[in-house]
């Protein structure tokens, strides 16, 4: 039984946050493409970013901002153009975007975080952005979380958001989150754009540590296609508007808050994997028996990222040999005589020995997962044990379908 409950509102569920999403003309499709999250007061800010050396201008901008100032009031995100590999002009566009929003909100530009998503190599359409910012600011409301979540989507089939509520002391505390991601997803932080809001009061260093640990157990554990983006960003704002005493060190209250933060991040991460480009089902790989959690997570990520495993699941082929092969090449030492593999309820290998199982029934299990897309029953569960260690880890991904190639073959044409 969890210590929290799901509530509505997304990023605007926590007190003191407003949001908006509008059509600014940045996307050729004419769909919503400009989002804003605003805190009523300066909020403690933390961030985790892509490890790619080819980075979008907003990545470098936000890294500098958060190193100099561990707080923010607003997050501005455009969809349509990634503003990555855009040279000096891309940097200047980012600075101008922050300045324009700061002026519109009457806050310092240093309190604005910027994120972009879309086609790499394309500058933001600055004329459209400039014209859209006044409309965006005018649209912010305490019920704007859903609109904001829609406005950051690119190839996503569905917007992704959640909000949770718990009690710390005698006060209600809420965490909301939204994200986008469907392709170019691979565990190398952060593999997408995600924005989290919280109304607790937390010290900057502790909030950053909490977010980094949550990312390691969520966004760093998903993969769709093995490609890490140039724009991957995870931001978290905590504005203290729940009026709880400040949490400055680990303890029962901090652990409760971090557990809820991790739950929000895991929900969003799985939503990205579930919505992988061309996907028909979510794959969850649970690994136990490793020497430590890092080793277990590494094996899980390797299995869920295997193109052969993903293809077999799309073909509804219970080919467990591909799972064994992926585990063996993960770079984690283990005795293959300890290897155990289970697909759903079907035991396929025990103590390194093949087991008899009903192949037709196992194939039907995979078909049923595809038929339950976007529902709880859409998950293919792979359980792997590699020894007797205490380390365990989970990773999430999706199958690899014909449509993935079609979507990405025609992405800019």
Query: Residue 232 — pLDDT band, cuts 50, 70, 90?
Result: confident
pLDDT of 105: 98
> Which residue did the predictor score with more confidence, 310 or 230?
310
Please pick, among 154, 191, 223, 230, the residue that the annotation labels catalytic: 191
How many beta carbons lie within 10 A of that of residue 382, not counting itself? 24
Q: What Rg, from alpha-carbon coordinates, does the chain have?
A: 21
- 299 part of a folded domain: yes
- Which of the 8 DSSP states describes residue 365? H
**Helical packing angle, 57-68 and 87-105, nearest 10°:** 50
287 and 267 in a single domain? The answer is no
Which helix (H) or strand (E) covers residue 44, if one does? strand 34-49
pTM for the full model?
A: 0.89
Q: Is 191 a catalytic residue?
A: yes
Co-location of 262 and 290 in the same domain: no
Averaged pLDDT for residues 255-280: 91
Give pLDDT tens digits for 66-115.
999 999 999 999 999 999 999 999 999 999 999 999 999 999 999 999 99
Which has more pLDDT, 340 or 52?
340
Average pLDDT over residues 235-256: 96
The mean per-residue pLDDT over the stretch 46-66 comes to: 91
CA dihedral 310, 160, 213, 257 (to 10 degrees): -140
- Are residues 294 and 252 part of one domain? no
From CA 110, how far away is CA 65, in angstroms rounded? 7
pLDDT of residue 375: 46
Instruction: Specify the number of domains making up the chain.
Output: 2
Indicate whether 128 belongs to any domain: yes
The answer to whether residue 277 sits within a structural domain is no
Domain range spanning residue 295? 282-409
Q: Are residues 117 and 230 in the same domain?
A: yes
Residue 50 forms part of a structural domain: yes
Q: What is the CATH number of the domain that holds 115?
A: 3.60.70.12
Single out the residue in 272, 296, 312 at which a domain terminates: 272
Among residues 272, 298, 328, the one where a domain terminates is 272
What mean pLDDT, rounded, does the chain reach? 92
Cα separations in angstroms, 353 against 328, 334, 339, 362, 412: 15, 15, 8, 18, 48
Asked whether the predicted pLDDT for residue 374 surpasses 50, the reply is no
Q: Are residues 25 and 159 in the same domain?
A: yes
Q: Are 293 and 391 in contact (CB under 8 A)?
A: yes
Answer yes or no: do 242 and 307 share one domain.
Answer: no
Q: What is the per-residue pLDDT across 316-326, written as a single tens digit (0 to 9) for each?
A: 999 999 999 99
Residue 116 has pLDDT above 50, yes or no: yes
> 28: buried, middle or exposed (CB in 10 Å: 19+, 13-18, 0-12)?
exposed
pLDDT at 190 over 90: no
| Axis-axis angle for helices 126-139, 87-105 (nearest 10) | 30
Helix (H) or strand (E) holding 324: helix 320-328
CB 199 within 8 A of CB 15: yes
Residue 358 CB contacts under 8 Å (≥ 6 apart), including other chains: 346
Q: 157-183: buried (b, 16+ CB within 10 Å) or exposed (e) per residue? A: eebbbbbbbbebeeebbbbbbbbbbbb
pLDDT of amino acid 119: 86
Which of 211, 239, 272 is a domain's end point?
Answer: 272
- Give me the CATH number covering residue 302: 3.10.20.340
Regarding whether 301 and 217 lie in a shared domain, the answer is no
Q: Are residues 122 and 208 in the same domain?
A: yes
């Amino acid at each position: 039984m969890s210590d929290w409950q799901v509530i509505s509102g997304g990023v605007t569920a926590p007190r003191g946050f407003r949001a908006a999403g509008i059509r600014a003309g940045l996307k050729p499709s004419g769909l919503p493409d400009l989002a804003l999250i605003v805190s009523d007061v300066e909020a403690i800010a933390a961030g985790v970013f892509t490890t790619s050396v080819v980075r979008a201008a907003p990545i470098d901008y936000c890294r500098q901002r958060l190193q100099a100032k561990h707080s923010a009031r607003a997050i501005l995100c455009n969809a349509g153009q990634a503003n990555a590999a855009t040279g000096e002009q891309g940097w200047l566009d980012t600075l101008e975007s922050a300045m324009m929003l700061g002026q519109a909100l009457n806050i310092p530009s240093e309190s604005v975080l910027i994120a972009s998503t879309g086609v790499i190599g394309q500058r933001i359409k600055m004329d459209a952005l400039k014209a859209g910012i006044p409309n965006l600011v005018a649209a912010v409301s305490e019920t704007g979380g859903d609109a904001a979540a829609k406005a950051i989507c690119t190839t996503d089939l569905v917007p992704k958001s959640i909000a949770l509520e718990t009690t710390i002391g005698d006060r209600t505390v809420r965490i909301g989150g939204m994200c986008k991601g469907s392709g170019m997803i691979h565990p190398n932080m952060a593999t997408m754009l995600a924005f989290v809001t919280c109304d607790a009061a937390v010290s900057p260093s502790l909030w950053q540590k909490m977010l980094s640990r949550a990312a390691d157990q969520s966004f760093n554990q998903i993969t769709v296609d093995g490609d890490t983006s140039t724009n991957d960003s995870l931001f978290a704002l905590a504005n203290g508007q729940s009026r709880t005493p400040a949490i400055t060190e680990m303890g029962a209250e901090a652990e409760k808050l971090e557990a809820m933060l991790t739950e929000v991040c895991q929900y969003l991460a799985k939503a990205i994997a579930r919505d992988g480009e061309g996907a028909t089902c979510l794959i969850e790989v649970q690994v136990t028996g490793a020497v430590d959690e890092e080793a277990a997570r590494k094996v899980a990520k390797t299995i869920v990222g295997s193109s052969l495993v993903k293809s077999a699941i799309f073909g509804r082929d219970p080919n467990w040999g591909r799972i064994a092969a992926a585990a063996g090449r993960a770079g984690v030492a283990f005795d293959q005589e300890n290897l155990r593999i289970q697909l759903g309820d079907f035991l396929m290998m025990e103590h390194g020995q093949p087991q008899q199982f009903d192949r037709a029934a196992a194939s039907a299990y995979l078909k049923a997962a595809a038929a339950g897309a976007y529902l709880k029953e859409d998950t293919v569960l792979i359980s792997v044990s590699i020894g007797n260690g205490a380390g365990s880890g989970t990773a999430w991904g999706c199958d690899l379908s014909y449509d993935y190639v079609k979507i990405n073959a025609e992405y800019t044409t």
